[in-house]
A and B are shown apart, each in its own frame.
Chain A
């Protein structure tokens, strides 16, 4: 699971949960896989992302590295910044672990890179 995906997932679907965001990450196994760098694509992706949540997620799994915690101005033309954003959004892959609902503590397993967001009938 990439951090761009984590940035979008919530547990709001659960009974009694009001925000369900951001989900905490308990990572057991994290890998980095190379993805082709496409500055135009990353530039269009950034405004859709909750930057604070992205930084928090990266930090919590020890992969924030040199990513600025504030969005820089005119990032579209800042290739160095876009490369850092690219790495954190697309190249970090949580292979095994758990996502945890911030309100209920309900755990969603991540196995082989795939988060399982399915709920039991009595949780909906």
Chain B
């Protein structure tokens, strides 16, 4: 076990973070629930020591839940990459509220072919809660993952729909990356969008840990 902030404190911190005020369907903007995010980050630090003093990327950082949680767990520096200006605005307010200085945010398109560029193998740890690629952007989850593999010199943590597990495992193997499902979690999606008929929808998601090959 590694030194880590108490899970309860981390969850309390993440509960104070504002979410999307006007989520965009095309970008599949869902806030990672604080309960889920705090468990995820606590595991990454307490079990693997992959946050404290590390250089970390958050791909699709949105309103900054994972970014701020990572900063709170004493990341050396976390850089959040996000395309959407509104989400960045909210994220920035969240960062100012919590007064973290070990965070930088870059507005850019992760799916662009030239995204990786000089960031190649720069980061110790990449974390993400990618778009699941279910609506009008099929395959975007794998695109995020591929960029994560390229950016990390060690590990990637990500969430994927359990129904796609076999596909994710196969994708990792094809990219010479070791994949492990750390937990299956229930993702409680509140009715963010009008097409949701029920108050909330539970979907099963896998919490993955990927290890890139040290000598590619």
- Interface residues in B91-122 (C-beta closer than 8 Å to A): 92, 101-102, 104-109, 112-115, 117-119, 122
What is the total number of residues of chain B having a CB less than 8 Å from a CB of chain A?
Answer: 27
Beta-carbon contact of B79 and A117 below 8 Å: no
* Contact A13 to B118, CB < 8 A, known contacts A5-B106, A40-B53: no
In the complex, chain B residues whose CB is within 8 Å of the CB of A48: 122
In the complex, chain B residues whose CB is within 8 Å of the CB of A119: 109
* Contact A36 to B102, CB < 8 A, known contacts A10-B117, A12-B114: yes
Tell me the nearest residue of chain A to B91, going by C-beta: A114
In the complex, chain A residues whose CB is within 8 Å of the CB of B106: 1, 5, 9, 114-115, 117
Tell me the nearest residue of chain B to A21, going by C-beta: B118
In the complex, chain A residues whose CB is within 8 Å of the CB of B109: 117-119
Residue A112 CB within 8 A of the other chain: yes
- The one of B74, B104, B108 in contact with A2, judged by C-beta atoms closer than 8 angstroms, is B104
A8–B118 Cα distance when bound, in Å, is 5
A116–B37 Cα distance when bound, in Å, is 27
Measured between C-beta atoms, what is the minimum distance from B151 to chain A in Å? 10
Measured between C-beta atoms, what is the minimum distance from B27 to chain A in Å? 13
Which secondary structure characterizes the binding site on chain A?
Answer: loop
* Contact A118 to B104, CB < 8 A, known contacts A38-B53, A45-B55, A112-B92: no
A86–B54 Cα distance when bound, in Å, is 14
* Contact A35 to B118, CB < 8 A, known contacts A4-B77, A45-B55, A114-B88: no
Measured between C-beta atoms, what is the minimum distance from A79 to chain B in Å? 16
Residue A124 CB within 8 A of the other chain: yes
Tell me the nearest residue of chain B to A2, going by C-beta: B104
Tell me the nearest residue of chain B to A45, going by C-beta: B55
A118–B84 Cα distance when bound, in Å, is 10
Residue B72 CB within 8 A of the other chain: no
* Contact A114 to B105, CB < 8 A, known contacts A38-B76, A41-B53: yes
Q: Considering residues A9, A48, A90, A114, which has the most beta carbons from chain B within 10 angstroms of its beta carbon?
A: A114
A33–B112 Cα distance when bound, in Å, is 32
Measured between C-beta atoms, what is the minimum distance from B109 to chain A in Å? 6
- Interface residues in B139-184 (C-beta closer than 8 Å to A): none
Residue B90 CB within 8 A of the other chain: no
Contact with B along A1-44 (1 / 0, CB 8 A): 11011011110110000000100000000000111101011001
- The one of A8, A41, A91 in contact with B122, judged by C-beta atoms closer than 8 angstroms, is A8
In the complex, chain A residues whose CB is within 8 Å of the CB of B83: 118
Contact with B along A35-60 (1 / 0, CB 8 A): 11010110011001000000000000
A38–B101 Cα distance when bound, in Å, is 13
Residue A113 CB within 8 A of the other chain: yes
In the complex, chain A residues whose CB is within 8 Å of the CB of B54: 41
Give 13 A-B contacts (CB < 8 Å), ordered by A residue.
A1-B104, A5-B79, A8-B119, A12-B117, A36-B102, A41-B54, A41-B55, A45-B55, A91-B101, A114-B92, A114-B107, A117-B107, A124-B112
